[in-house]
Amino acid sequence: MQNHYRRDKYGINPTIRNLNTAMLLTENIGPDRNMIIAILLYNLCRSEFIPEDKLRAIFGDDIAKLISGLTKVSLLYKRQAAVESENFHKLLLTFAEDIRVIIIMIVDRLAIMRAINHHPNEKFVHDISNEAKYLYAPLAHRLGLYKIKSELEDLSFKYTNREVFTDIARKLNETKVERDRYIADFIAPVKAALEKEGLKFDIKGRTKSISSIWNKMKNQNADVKDIFDLFAIRIILDTPLEREKAECWNAYSIVTAMYTANTSRLKDWLTIPKSNGYESLHITVNGPGNKWVEVQIRTRRMDEIAERGLAAHWKYKGIKSEGGLDEWMNNVRDMLESGNGPAELMKNASMHIYDKEVFVFTPKGDLYKLPAGATLLDFAFHIHSKVGSSCIGGKVDGKNQKITYKLKSGDTIEVLTSSTQTPKLDWLNIVVTSKAKNKIKQSINELKAKSAELGKELLQRRFKNKKIEVEEALLMKAIKKSGYKNVTDFYYDISKEVLNPATVIDTYISLENKDNEINHPETAENFILQASKEESQTSDTLVIGENIKGINYKLSKCCNPIFGDKIVGFISSEGAIKIHRADCPNAVHLLEKYPYRRINAQWSGKMGSQYAVTLRILGHDDIGIVTNVSSVINKEKDTSLRSISIDSHDGLFQGFLVIGIGDTKSLDNLIAKIKNIKGVKDVQRSN
């Protein structure tokens, strides 16, 4: 037994520490037998002097649960994580599993803070003080333990900035007699007026904590003597529940009738209580000597909850609330108002407020939050996309684990990588975070694009070896006939040897021969002339071309037909013949309405070297894409870019290009080449 009462490495006696914690718990929270026993037994159980099965047999499951929670939480400190991080707060609540564990830890921290004044190990004092300020004081505030919170902040300020703390304390002490006299002078007439009204109450004045005064000095850039609200007057009314609000407002009217109120500083937490259930009226009035004084008005019930209640205050100094914790805090407040005592409340309060999140460490002690169900692979991508892409597994608390391992709160994760590893499609079934999914898809697409480039080069070499001059439009037909909707998949399958280049070349040659049979038995011009002669024997057909004279006809601007388009003529009201593309919506409408004005028409030859055509192009708004499009057009023989207009929005652009081109075959070939430009999504003839 003697070993368990030795001082720790910082010279603190654990037995005295535990006794002090138990006493503070009784003073500040209220007696709870199981919590007191757990505090006194904790060190004996942690050193395995009392085994867990024996502990349960003698003291029961509830005390064993408390000690288990304290043991789990103590392990977190070995991770060397930054306790001021919000994630550490959440992990602490997750590990504790029971609200009473958190309360014991807060009270224990107060016991330590009281014991280390002038401790010789400055780093130890500094670390303990920082934990008190950034972790335990906010937790105490959330749980409504305001007195403990204020003392933790004051002691932390004292140990980390002793000179300033001492200076403020000295100035407060020098003015204590004067301040006490002022408080008494302020209270006397208020007390008399409240008694005259028949109210039952206590009234007292209190000086604000040194740490809060220091914060006001910094915010107002002022000295102690210039801070107008160094102290507050509190009126505590003894009144039935149904008359609480009415009597608080009655007291308010008495005080403000006596002293002028600053209405801009009225804080009405009676009408709408704080999120932690805090109810009170705070007013600032101009007291004797033209000094501003804060007056707090509340009932005995309200004061009890404010001083010792367990309803927590989540919005600590402006921190935004979170739904899960806020809901839990509301449950705490509901149980308080139902009349259950603190001990019963604490046993029943669930701590599963972060069951949708997991908190894990890196070997260096950095703490990360991920959604529940996240895997080791999710964590790797959370660290960095390169780490995720090359992840082959990892070590969890020193043990090797696969990328499919599901993370648990408190795990320490070391990611293992390999330079030969690349993302796989089935990884999408392993990860749950959108970040990981997006990075995997992006990486797979990038790898696929690189492979597709290799496939394209391979096919081009094969065509070159066979001395075949490739026409893009015909190749697009071959790709489509091979069953592919986009060229990337087509070239990717060639690179992966899923598709044989020889098969593609055979398909291309077959289409080329078929195209020649249909379109080139002789020259295109002779074919059209021949066809027009045969057709003219049975019907009147207007044959148009460069050498046709004496006929008044025009190419319609609504559809801009070009050589190679199927065309139809329409006699306008002016007597001129308008030549439309056969699929022009205007032509279809006119011919339905005036069928007798139709003139069959065919080309005999080109009207000139170029026709005007408008192309509509859609794509990603990437740097250089417009240059690439214009470069492709300028490289085409007998083709020119006449005008261009671009409109970009949300990373996409839409452009209209007016080009001069010779015939439909050249146009189809050009459109196919533009579609192959990286970033272009679609190209359509718009007229």
Q: What is the pLDDT of residues 322-371, one digit of tens each?
A: 334 444 444 544 443 343 444 444 444 444 444 577 878 788 777 788 88
611-685 topology per CATH:
Alpha-Beta Plaits (3.30.70)
Beta bridge partners of 241: none
Q: How far is CA 162 from the centre of its chain?
A: 41
Cβ–Cβ under 8 Å, residues 283 and 297: yes
Is CATH 3.30.70.380 what the domain over 163-308 is classified as, yes or no?
A: no
Tell me the Ramachandran region of residue 499: left when phi exceeds 0, alpha when psi lies from -120 to 50, beta otherwise: beta
- pLDDT for position 625: 78
Question: How buried is 45 (Cβ within 10 angstroms: 0-12 exposed, 13-18 middle, 19+ buried)?
Answer: buried
Class of 1-145+323-350 in CATH: mainly alpha
Pairing of strands 260-261, 267-268: unpaired
DSSP 208: P
- pLDDT for position 352: 46
Structure tokens at 95: 């590990």
- pLDDT for position 530: 37
Q: How many helices (H) and strands (E) does the chain have?
A: 26, 20
Structure tokens at 1: 């037994």
Give the list of residues 6+ apart from residue 5 with CB closer than 8 angstroms, or none.
Answer: 13, 14, 15
Enumerate residue ranges in the chain where pLDDT < 50: 1-4, 310-330, 332-354, 516-539
Residue burial 553-570, b: 16+ Cβ < 10 Å; e: rest: bebbeebbbbbbbebbbb
Give the list of residues 6+ apart from residue 385 with CB closer than 8 angstroms, or none.
Answer: 439, 443
Structure tokens at 652: 């996409």
Domain 357-423: give its CATH architecture.
Roll (3.10)
Q: How far apart are CA 165 and CA 155, in angstroms?
A: 9
Structure tokens at 73: 């939480």
The string of pLDDT tens digits covering residues 473-490 is 888 888 888 888 888 888
Which residue blocks in 226-351 are alpha helix, DSSP H? 244-258, 300-308, 323-337, 342-348
Domain boundary assignment for the chain: 1-145+323-350, 163-308, 357-423, 442-519, 524-603, 611-685
Q: Is the pTM of this model over 0.75?
A: no
Element holding 607 (H helix, E strand): none
Cβ–Cβ under 8 Å, residues 70 and 105: yes
Which residue type is seen at 259?
A: Y
Residue burial 395-415, b: 16+ Cβ < 10 Å; e: rest: ebeeeebebebebebbbbbbb
Which residue type is seen at 159?
A: Y
- pLDDT for position 134: 80
